[in-house]
Amino acid sequence: MSTAPETKKSGGIRDLKYMFGGGMSSLRQFGILGALIVIIALFQVLTGGKTLLPGNLINIVSQYSYILVLAIGMVMVIIAGHIDLSVGSVAAFTGIAVALAMQNWNLPWWAAIVFGLVVGAAIGAWQGFWVAVIGVPAFIVTLAGMLIFRGGNQFFGNASTVPVPSEFVYIGAGYLPEFGPDTGYNNATLLLGLLIVAVVIFREVQVRRKQKRMGSDSAPMWVTILKLAIIIVVILYAATLFAGGRVGTSFPVSGIILGVLVILYSFVTRTTIVGRHVYAVGGNRIAARLSGVKDRRVDFFVMMNMSMLAALAGMIYVARAQASGPQDGNGWELDAIAAVFIGGAAVSGGIGTVTGSIIGGLVMAVLNNGLQLLSVGSDRVQIIKGVVLLVAVGIDVWNKTQGRPSIIGMLMKSRKSDDAEPPRPQDPRTPTPSDGTAGTVQPQDTRP
């Protein structure tokens, strides 16, 4: 006897799980975002309101944008089940190569950027060859790369600093220009905030229309309105803070570059075949290979992509510092890896998001900045950052062993239906076959 499906009740507190997508991965990011908000509020109180001053926020974005760029590439490497220890050295090597090219070859700034990306691609192809073709573990390859390119930086630069021209400095130390009437704010930054608000609203409308057209589950309207209201208030408040800095400053150009990369790589990892293959290989390499995924191509791609982003991060740092030096890139790989794991990526691979990694990087950036404002010594800053990383990954591993993806997911877990058997949990790391259908276990033929 068939029964009509039970109408899903809505309007309760449980519907809040749809605010950030409704999935367990989204709920984990929601928890990390909540931790970021708590850290910001805590330092805002402890520092007497200095944390949210316009100048300090501009400084955070300008100082840590290159680490966040590294985190974008590192999350894809970790999702694929690898690790890259060479990103700091690759960034430093590219920085010295670009600085010398502009000094000795008189390359214009735009040609120098292209040259730097080509250098990063060549390094990534070299390391990708050893990982994907020869089969050497990425940990060993990139450990060797860390030594090779660190030595290369000091060899070609003669362990000295090499200045870069003022035109090149703009990508690391430049700000959005000022134009229009005198409003007391940077008009370009205000317009950027309004543009982001318009894009957020448009995207939410498009998502709801698509969900309605496909007949899929969607968030109640009151949840959507609440979500948009919170996001819009945060965006406009942040825009006024960045636009209200001292004259000559506004939202950093490096932050614009970072924002474009976040949008691009979020699209790649979430909606493209390449992104799905990265998740498939990291989740279950053998199953992915049997499903037709070219795992060696995936390995080559993530290593090459990481080195190109490391090259870009190195150029941003050199532009901000206005010179390339022998100590550039020291410890960057550790900050990038910490950002990814704090952002919810799994140590075993197959799980992680670009957005989560950016939030994790911001947690480390705000934590580091707040401790500096409190005049905490660098030794204690390192200890605190290490404890935060250990606790974040420890909680993630413990929750997985308990069968709970996150504390937030546990609190907002839907009640099981009384008259239906609950569905068995599916391993998110199991790749979907290329035809889009879910894999099923076929019964064995027991005939003689």
Helices (H), 374-430: 378-401, 407-411
* CB 201 within 8 Å of CB 138: no
Which H or E run includes 136? none
Cα separation, 90 vs 87, in Å, equals 5
Is a pLDDT exceeding 80 seen at residue 421? no
pTM over 0.95: no
Q: Given this model, what pLDDT does residue 19 score?
A: 58
Q: What is the dihedral sign for C-alpha 336, 342, 347, 352?
A: negative
The SS3 call for residue 72 is helix
Taking each helix axis from N to C end, the angle separating 354-373 and 378-401, rounded to the nearest 10 degrees, works out to 150
Q: Given this model, what pLDDT does residue 95 score?
A: 95
Is a pLDDT exceeding 60 seen at residue 101? yes
List beta partners, residue 70. none
Who contacts 10 (Cβ-Cβ below 8 Å, separation ≥6)?
Answer: 220
Q: How confident is the model over 370-394, as pLDDT tens digits?
A: 999 999 988 888 898 888 888 877 7
* CB 204 within 8 Å of CB 228: yes
CA proximity to 143, closest of 159, 134, 130: 130
Higher pLDDT, 114 or 426: 114
Domains of the chain: 23-174+252-409 (1.10.3470)
Q: Given this model, what pLDDT does residue 402 score?
A: 61
Is a pLDDT exceeding 70 seen at residue 74? yes
Q: How confident is the model over 76-93, as pLDDT tens digits?
A: 999 999 999 999 999 999
Is a pLDDT exceeding 80 seen at residue 360? yes
Cα separation, 284 vs 220, in Å, equals 35
Cα separation, 210 vs 186, in Å, equals 37
Q: How confident is the model over 287-304, as pLDDT tens digits?
A: 999 999 999 999 999 999
